[in-house]
Chains A and B, each alone.
Chain A
Amino acid sequence: MSTAEIVTAEPDQCLAGLGSARTEAVLVSPTPIDRSATPSVDHLGLLEAHAIFILREVAAESERPVLLFSGGKDSAVLLHLAAKAFRPGGFPFPVLHVDTGHNFPVVIEYRDQQVADLGERLIVASVQQSIDDGRVADPGPNASRNRLQTTTLLDAIAEHSFDACIGGARRDEDKARAKERVLSFRDAFGQWDPKRQRPELWHLYQGRVQPGESLRAFPLSDWTELDIWQYIGREGITLPSIYFSHRRPVVERDGMLLAVSEWVNPGPGEHATEETVRFRTVGDATCTGAVRSAASTVDEIISEVAASRISERGATRADDRFSETAMEDRKREGYF
């Protein structure tokens, strides 16, 4: 910057007595960055600190936030981070489960236990109720209710006037999520418009909305599946047992291993076999597949995830296979 001209703030720009002379108001050719102090916090520590920061910003900036909790590993991490952000106080939001009714019973037990242990308030928004009330058509007893969750979620948002839904979605899960902001603006119909997202600069999460509009907030945006497992191991977070290797009857359908259950039974030409499996994600039991796995500890799962050649959703979610932009389309309709 040989041609540089140092410009100082004019004295009248500052309140009296507050050292205006210090201001070297130049932007480029900055003083060198001190990187020596950097390595004290590792990548999990930085991800944790950032997520806690986001949780506190959303809680402070929105009127009626809510934390979405499915009983899956990402929402378990989210709940853990919420405790880190707000203890010794209570959570400044209730916990909401959008319940498809197609659950693994251990997951529901786990959900109730976790929220009770924390002493927080659980709201269950039921897809079955939406069907019974005629809000959505019943797709049949054995069909996936994943898509129906959108109506149930939007109804819950309207009923409770929620203006921010904090979710555990990660950008590494899907190519549309990879595009989404940490604070994702949704219009009065819950719709995401990927072509008109708000700029999101630095750490300045800007969540102002008009009545009826809302936000989705994703504190785990920059976490990968591997980060989640490493963090679960480091923090000793409890998970539902279905994440760990176990034997259960499964039926192979559309290249996926579905657990035999009330809603999933072998059809013509199919047959149930008992396999050693675990779940990589937890969702609607009719469309969430298990993976063959002998990994029964967090360390074994970390090794397995690090070596995997198939993505988390690719291995386990039937609902994303129908179209190239399934997730984008669901989000446009108001999905999480």
Chain B
Amino acid sequence: MGATVSTPATTGGTTPGSGHDTEGPSLADGAGRDPVTRARATGVTGNAAAGTGAMDLLRFAAVGSVDDGKSTLIGRLLFDTRQLFDDQIEAVAAAGRRRGISEVDLSFVTDGLRAEREQGITIDVAYRYAATPHRKFVIADCPGHVQYTSNMATGASTADLALVVVDATTGLREQTRRHTCIAALFGVDQFIVCANKMDLVDWDEAAYRRVADEFEALARRLGVVSTTVIPVSALHGDNVVDRSDAAPFYDGPTVLEALEAAPAGGWAGFHGAHRGTGARLPVQWVLRHPGGGRSYAGMVNGGPLRPGDRVVVLPEGIETTVSAVETFDGELAEASVGLSVSVHLTDDIDVSRGDLIAAAEEPPEVTTEMEATVCWFGDRPLRPGDRLRVKHTTRVTPARVSEVRARLDVNELTLQAADVLEANDIGVVHLSMATPLAVDPYRRERITGSFVLIDEATNATVAAGMVGRPDLPAG
């Protein structure tokens, strides 16, 4: 994207829809602005303007309330950065024509399911990919409707950054707050907010200010520090990729500039970043070596792992030393966080899948009891006494809900006393497990702090769980 954007002259240079051109969608607005013609006319080569050298990786999720314009914004971002192939653009245009829509509906770029196009709503998260010379983006376009909160959580759980889309005509809605809460609870620490549909409020600065003020108040209470609020029109393309002159009051970055400036390597997105708990390696698989040795395969989390490190195997609590860390390609002097490796230990001890190899000086806690925050997705309410399975790291164990303690009021940001959680509620519960788990508070380590709850009868995943409770006041 960067190459095509930073040198507009070489990319055709037109910025349809930007500026004062607020009548009708820009894409169908005159010669050369038809997307297909436009893409061809630009002569831009590159579905990705992608570099072929080393790139970093940024995963972000578009979140926010239903119909506020997330899919349109992602479609616009991909279209204006020439990340879409000609045949994909043509297919989106044809799908619109078939439904009697005269302009290209950019939300169809990600709303690819039949039911989504029929209903004009996103049902499940779509993943799209984009690249600049030095960065690969993994984009999750999440659904806004409350009924699909579990799908939004799916997209947000692997994001480093949240792109929060807010309709500037209405300001923040309950779903905007719920999504922002979920993203913040999941550990997303960078937020780019789009005050969208600015064309519908005649680019009124007050409407932009309202979104900015409401979001900043919310972010402050959630402990979020990194926030950029951008006035945009996803429909017309203002301030998405092309800078708009419709908002003279705004001199910050465009959406693309903000995405490119964001530091890569978030903690939630498995990119080597960590909060320094010390190494944690959940054992996935035991590898047998010719001659009788064994090594333990898994992904490194929490901190790097090196030969010579003192480690403890949990939940057993046996201490030993790492003799070698290797991959298929050979031994490593240091295994960074996010790598899939296998570990040799100096002592011949019984280690199997589900065990955790952790830094000995700072191990996680081994417990059969925990207080946890859950996003409940079950069809029926969650109540004390419910029996479920917990999948935590590579271990699955039966558990019982000993207490439901509180429910998060996403509007007030308070924890209300509650003894039942309804579908799509976020709440605090106490769980008792049949076998001990080695856990860290989620805020310190994602891998050992997260779990899912599984319905024993249907095998459905019914909750996202995090060890610990939000430090929000009681309501």
Q: Please report A residues at the B interface, Cβ cutoff 8 Å.
A: 1, 3-7, 9-10, 12-15, 18-20, 22-35, 37-43, 45-46, 48-50, 52-53, 56-57, 59-60, 83-89, 171-172, 174-176, 178-179, 181, 194-195, 197-204, 206, 208-210, 221-222, 224, 226-227, 230, 302-303, 305-311, 314-315, 324-325, 328
Contacts and interface: CB of A to CB of B under 8 A. Distances in A.
Interface in B250-302: 263-268, 270-276, 284-285, 287-290, 297-299
Given A87-B328, A204-B451, A226-B48, A45 B394 contact: no
A10 B230 CA distance: 43
Given A28-B223, A86-B287, A200-B154, A46 B270 contact: yes
B468 A194 contact: no
Nearest to B353: A60
B275 A56 contact: no
A41 B271 CA distance: 8
Interface string B91-122: 10011001000000000001011110100000
24 contacts: A13-B369, A22-B365, A30-B444, A39-B264, A41-B336, A42-B54, A46-B272, A49-B338, A57-B284, A178-B112, A179-B112, A195-B113, A197-B124, A201-B153, A201-B450, A201-B452, A203-B299, A203-B447, A222-B138, A226-B47, A308-B47, A309-B40, A311-B85, A328-B114
B91 A4 contact: no
Interface residues of B, number: 118
Interface stretch (B23-31, B125-133, B167-175, B196-204): B125-133
Contacts of B466: 27
Interface stretch (B13-21, B232-240, B343-351, B456-464): B456-464
A33 B464 contact: no
A216 to B, nearest CB: 16
Given A49-B338, A202-B157, 6 more contacts: A19-B365, A22-B365, A24-B468, A37-B272, A178-B126, A203-B270
B441 interface: yes
Contacts of A35: 263-266, 273
A53 B283 CA distance: 11
Which label, helix, strand, loop or mixed, suits the secondary structure of the A interface?
loop
B323 interface: no
A194 B468 CA distance: 33
Contacts of B373: 27
Given A37-B336, A307-B45, A26 B50 contact: no
Contact of B52 (A26, A31, A87, A230): A230
Contacts of B150: 199
Given A28-B223, A33-B275, A15 B441 contact: no
A52 B270 CA distance: 14
Interface string B198-218: 000000000000000000000
B185 interface: yes
Interface in B164-206: 184-185, 187, 189
A52 B340 contact: yes
B123 interface: yes
B151 interface: yes
B266 A33 contact: yes
A34 B275 contact: yes
A22 B438 CA distance: 13
A40 B273 CA distance: 10
Nearest to B460: A198
B459 A208 contact: yes
Given A40-B272, A49-B340, A310-B86, A179 B124 contact: yes
Given A25-B441, A179-B113, A83 B328 contact: yes
Contacts of B56: 38-39, 42-43
B288 A89 contact: yes
B450 A204 contact: yes
A1 B221 contact: yes
A28 B328 contact: no
B273 A14 contact: no
B442 interface: yes
Given A37-B336, A49-B339, A53-B299, A13 B124 contact: no
Given A200-B461, A203-B447, A59 B452 contact: no
Contacts of B126: 175, 178-179
Contacts of B274: 33-34, 37
Top 8 closest pairs, chain A to chain B, by CB: A175-B112, A29-B223, A38-B265, A314-B87, A25-B468, A52-B340, A84-B328, A311-B85
